[in-house]
Amino acid sequence: MYSKTVMDHFRNPRNVGVIEDANGVGEVGNPLCGDMMTIYLKITDDVIDDIKFQTFGCGSAIAVSSMLTEIAKGKPISEAKKITNKEVANALEGLPKNKLHCSNLGADALQLAIKDYEARKEGKAPAEIKRKEAHEHNPDEKCYCPYCDIEIQEEAPFCKACQSDLVEDHH
Amino acid sequence: MKIINLDHISSKPLIPEVKQAMIDAINNDYANPSSQHKKGEQAADALAKARESVAGLLHAKTPKEIVFTSGGTESVNHAIKGVAWANAEKGKHIITTNIEHNSVIRSCKRLKSQGFTITSVSVDDKGRVDPADIAKAITDDTILVSVMHANNETGTLQPIEEIAKITREKKIIFHTDAVDSVGVMPFDVQKMGADLVSFAANTFYGPTGIGGLYIRRGTMIWPLLDGGVQEASKRAGTENLLGIIGMGVAADQARQHMNSRLVHLEKLKSKLITELPNHIDEYIINTPLDYSLPNLVSVSVKYIEGESVMLMLDDEDIAVSTRSACATGSLRASHVLMSIGLDHADAQGTLVICYGVDNTEEDITKFLGALQNIVVTLRDISPLYVKKH
């Protein structure tokens, strides 16, 4: 199910823990599917000197956190700001389709931690970061049931073919 | 490589007697039991023998009350849709509970889209339904009550006999999904009183892809599959004779060894429950010990997530199942765990440990030792654990 790289990062996660004197902290969580992630940054001269994470979640959530810290470590924050969830997933040689939405939240936690750092620097309250919608597609694309792949009406509460509840996917 | 299989809820191994019977059946080159020539009759005899064995396991009055299906899911679909369709002129109301298997929930949902109404009765925090709540839900329109016998996530047993008394008095058809109990513990349809009972061969070390539906004589039900007149016109299609022969032998073995198996399973359950606190702290046992399956323990380990535990146990060659949303295709929290009042985070850390005749006390010891280390590792990196301590 998981790639070798995912399993390697899951079995031997890098940069685990808390930075006591962190100057940027980002926490994201998804109570519905249950993954939670905290990123701690130690930034010196706008460069990520040290980064650590704590994660409550599945194999891919832990691997994502670990890979993210490897990508971000040593980067100036101007570059770290460009790191996306997709980039982390690609570095892990992909994640299962159904895990892309819920456990791939490492970059979100990092961006939140950077915003927290910047807010602290300016003496402001940290800004809220909004996670992307769980179900998204281009307006000109048709909408398909994620379970049985039959075409469905936008905003349909359940799939007429397989009866799957779609309310949570269409929020 | 020896893998310790504590995931019997997902699949059980075939016992040697079943394997041998199925190999013999393959070598026997059985024909179609519906054919009237000699080879057909030989197949029909094998079919009849297996049906008697399965009828014996459930204490059915006659083997005719057993219909072979492709497994628990088909049996449940047949029972619920078959009764609804056959009795739609009498009424269109069905009563069930909020802890049923998806085969029940989704069959009901399908019927709802066809104009039936469904009442889903809630369970208490131990996962048990109060028969009085079933009685209260009955209306003049009620044609079917469906309550599972043993829950596949928590092992909780429902008061089937008491519910059957109510449905019998009201002349309402009663189906119980007993897929996880028939063959594991004694199940006497006369004593239990249900009109329809779904069960599956793999639960008692028979092959997968074969199961059965007990249909009490006189129960008004339509077939799910239309076609030929096999299974007394209740289930069309040439019989899966290899599977049926395996199931028959598994049923004989289950009946013959029921008591010794129960003693063994209870011993493992007791060891697991008693020794767990020596290895981990801060957990919830979701299995009510005074009314549950002998072969299953559900435990929610706080502050960690079940899929991670499952993967790490797999590295130690130990197989378990988790009820974490992360490990299901739908990525939704278990409706069963929500219904007994678990919060999302605790539900995420839920392991289902289901063992069988092939497990030993040593297996439980190894599992507990491995779990202890894994819980420490995962709690070390869990933000929830750090916040609480």
- Could you give the ipTM of this predicted complex? 0.83
Locate the domains of chain A by residue range: 4-122, 133-171
Tokens of B176: 């119980």
Sign for the pseudo-dihedral over CA of B322, B328, B333, B335 = negative
Measure CB to CB from residue B326 to each of A13, A18, A33 and give the nearest one: A33
Q: By CB neighbour count within 10 A (0-12 exposed, 13-18 middle, 19+ buried), where does A54 fall?
A: buried
CA A14/CA A137 separation, integer angstroms: 34
CA A28/CA A85 separation, integer angstroms: 13
Contact B383/A at CB under 8 A: yes
Same domain, B280 and B266: yes
Tokens of B251: 């049923």
CA A51/CA B222 separation, integer angstroms: 64
Tokens of B321: 């199942």
Query: CATH number of the domain that B365 lies in?
Result: 3.90.1150.10
Q: Is B329's CB within 8 Å of A98's CB?
A: yes
What does the pLDDT look like over A30-89, one tens digit per residue?
A: 656 568 899 999 999 999 999 999 999 889 999 999 999 999 999 999 999 999 989 999
pLDDT for the residue numbered A133 = 41
What percent of chain A stands above pLDDT 70? 77
Contact B263, B271 (CB under 8 A): no
Identify the weakest region by mean pLDDT among A9-13, A148-152, B262-266, B318-322: A148-152
Q: Is B382's CB within 8 Å of A55's CB?
A: yes
Q: Does residue A115 carry a pLDDT above 90?
A: yes
Q: Quote the number of domains for chain B.
A: 2
Q: Does residue A122 carry a pLDDT above 70?
A: yes
Q: Which residue bears the tokens 């309250």?
A: A125
**In terms of DSSP bridges, do strands B173-177 and B142-146 run parallel, antiparallel, or are they unpaired?**
parallel
Position with higher pLDDT, B300 vs A145: B300
Same domain, B218 and B266: no
pLDDT for the residue numbered B129 = 97
Q: Is A163's CB within 8 Å of B315's CB?
A: no
Same domain, B151 and B299: no
CA B64/CA B49 separation, integer angstroms: 12
Using a CB-CB distance cutoff of 8 angstroms, which residues of chain A are in contact with residue B329? Answer: 98, 147
Measure CB to CB from residue A163 to each of B106, B312, B381 and give the nearest one: B106
Contact B388/A at CB under 8 A: no
Rounded to a whole number of angstroms, the distance from the CA of A139 to the nearest CA of chain B is 24
Same domain, B308 and B230: no
Contact B286, B337 (CB under 8 A): yes
Q: Which residue bears the tokens 């928590």?
A: B154
Q: Binning pLDDT at 50, 70 and 90, where does residue A99 land? A: confident
pLDDT for the residue numbered A159 = 75
Same domain, B164 and B287: no
In this prediction, residues A142-147 reach a mean pLDDT of 69
Contact B311/A at CB under 8 A: yes
Query: CATH number of the domain that B160 lies in?
Result: 3.40.640.10
Residue B141, sorted as left (phi over 0), alpha (psi -120 to 50) or beta, turns out to be: alpha
CA B324/CA B344 separation, integer angstroms: 9
Same domain, B219 and B295: no
Please work out, in degrees rounded to the nearest 5, the angle formed at the alpha carbon of residue B348 by the alpha carbons of A22 and B370: 85
pLDDT for the residue numbered A128 = 59
Measure CB to CB from residue A56 to each of B311, B331, B382 and give the nearest one: B382
pLDDT for the residue numbered B368 = 98
CA-CA-CA-CA dihedral for B220, B224, B225, B229, to nearest 10 = -10
Name which of B119, B117, B84, B54 is nearest B255 in CA terms: B54
Q: Does residue A124 carry a pLDDT above 70?
A: yes
Domain boundary among B254, B285, B317: B254
Position with higher pLDDT, A162 vs B295: B295
Q: Minimal Cα distance from A14: which residue of B?
A: B381
pLDDT for the residue numbered A134 = 45
Same domain, B250 and B265: no
CA B175/CA B167 separation, integer angstroms: 10
pLDDT for the residue numbered A104 = 77
Local structure of residue A74 (DSSP, 8 states) = T
Name which of A158, A142, A83 is nearest A113 in CA terms: A83
CA-CA-CA-CA dihedral for B79, B83, B85, B91, to nearest 10 = -140
Architecture of domain A4-122: Alpha-Beta Complex (3.90)
pLDDT for the residue numbered A135 = 46
CA B283/CA B302 separation, integer angstroms: 6
Q: Can you give the residue range of the structural domain that contains B171? A: 16-254
**In terms of DSSP bridges, do strands B350-354 and B117-121 run parallel, antiparallel, or are they unpaired?**
unpaired
pLDDT for the residue numbered A171 = 37
Q: Provide the residue-wise pLDDT of chain B in tens; the chain has 389 residues.
A: 799 999 999 999 999 999 999 999 999 999 999 999 999 999 999 999 999 999 999 999 999 999 999 999 999 999 999 999 999 999 999 999 999 999 999 999 999 999 999 999 999 988 999 999 999 999 999 999 999 999 999 999 999 999 999 999 999 999 999 999 999 999 999 999 999 999 999 999 999 999 999 999 999 999 999 999 999 999 999 999 999 999 999 999 999 999 999 999 999 999 999 999 999 999 999 999 999 999 999 999 999 999 999 999 999 999 999 988 777 666 677 899 999 999 888 999 999 999 999 999 999 999 999 999 999 999 999 988 876 77
Rounded to a whole number of angstroms, the distance from the CA of B270 to the nearest CA of chain A is 29
The CB density around residue B270, as the number of other CB atoms within 10 Å, is 13
Tell me the residue type at B246.
G
Please work out, in degrees rounded to the nearest 5, the angle formed at the alpha carbon of residue B75 by the alpha carbons of B90 and B244: 140
Domain boundary among B207, B236, B254: B254
Please provide the DSSP assignment of B339-386 as one string: HTT--HHHHHTEEEEE--TT--HHHHHHHHHHHHHHHHHHHHT-HHHH
Residues B112-122: b if buried by 16+ CB within 10 A, e if exposed: eeeebebbbbe
Q: Is B307's CB within 8 Å of A58's CB?
A: yes
